Structure 1
Amino acid sequence: MSEPYDPSVEGAEMSFDGRMSYGDYLQLDRILGAQTRLSTAHDEMLFIIQHQTSELWMRLAIHEIAAARAAIAADELQPAFKMLTRVARIFEQLNGAWDVLRTMTPSEYTRFREALGQSSGFQSFQYREIEYMLGNRNRAMLRPHAHRPEVHARLTAELARPSLYDEALRCVARAGIAVPEAVLSRDVGATHRADDGVIEAWRAVYADPAGHWELYELAEKLVDLEDYFRRWRFNHVTTVERVIGFKRGTGGTGGVSYLRRMLEVVLFPELWQVRTAL
Structure 2
Amino acid sequence: MTKAYDPAGEGAQMSFQGRMSYGDYLGLDQILSAQHPRSQAHDEMLFIIQHQTAELWMKLALHEISAARDNIAAGNLRPAFKMLTRVARIMEQLNSAWDVLRTMTPSEYTEFRESLGQSSGFQSYQYRMIEFVAGNRNTAMLPPHAHRPDLVESLKAELTRPSLYDVVLDRVRDAGFDLPERGQRDQPHQSDPAVNAAWAAIYDNPEQYWELYELAEKLVDFEDYFRRWRFNHVTTVERVIGFKRGSGGTSGVSYLRRMLDVVLFPDLWEMRTKL
* TM-score using structure 1 length: 0.98
> Which runs of 5 or more structure 1 residues have no equivalent in the other structure?
none
Q: In the TM superposition, what is the alpha-carbon distance from 1:191 to its structure 2 partner?
A: 1.1
Aligned to 2:261: 264
* 2:250 alignment counterpart: 253
Aligned 1:1-278 pairs, distance under 5 A: 1-180=1-180, 184-278=181-275
Query: Structure 1: how far apart are the matches of 2:267 and 2:149?
Result: 35
SS in 2 for 1:201: helix
Output the aligned Cα RMSD: 0.6
Deviation per CA, 1:99-135, whole angstroms, max 9, x where unpaired?
A: 0000000000000000000000010000000011111
- 1:5-35 Cα offsets, whole Å, 9 max, x none, are 1111000000001100000000000000001
Paired residue total = 275
Deviation per CA, 1:144-189, whole angstroms, max 9, x where unpaired?
1111111111111111111111111111001212222xxx242212
The separation in 2 between residues aligned to 1:74 and 1:61, in whole angstroms, is 20
Q: In structure 1, how many angstroms separate the alpha carbons of the residues matched to 2:145 and 2:18?
A: 41
Question: Deviations 1:216-250 (Å, cap 9, x if unpaired)?
Answer: 00010000100000000000000000000000000
* SS of the residue 1:54 aligns to: helix
- Percent sequence identity over aligned pairs: 71
Q: Which runs of 5+ in 2 are unaligned?
A: none
Normalization by structure 2: what TM-score? 0.99
State the one-letter code of the partner of 2:222.
Answer: L
Q: Aligned partners of 2:28, 2:158: CA distance in 1, in Å?
A: 30
Tell me the distance in 1 between the aligned counterparts of 2:156 and 2:267. Answer: 26
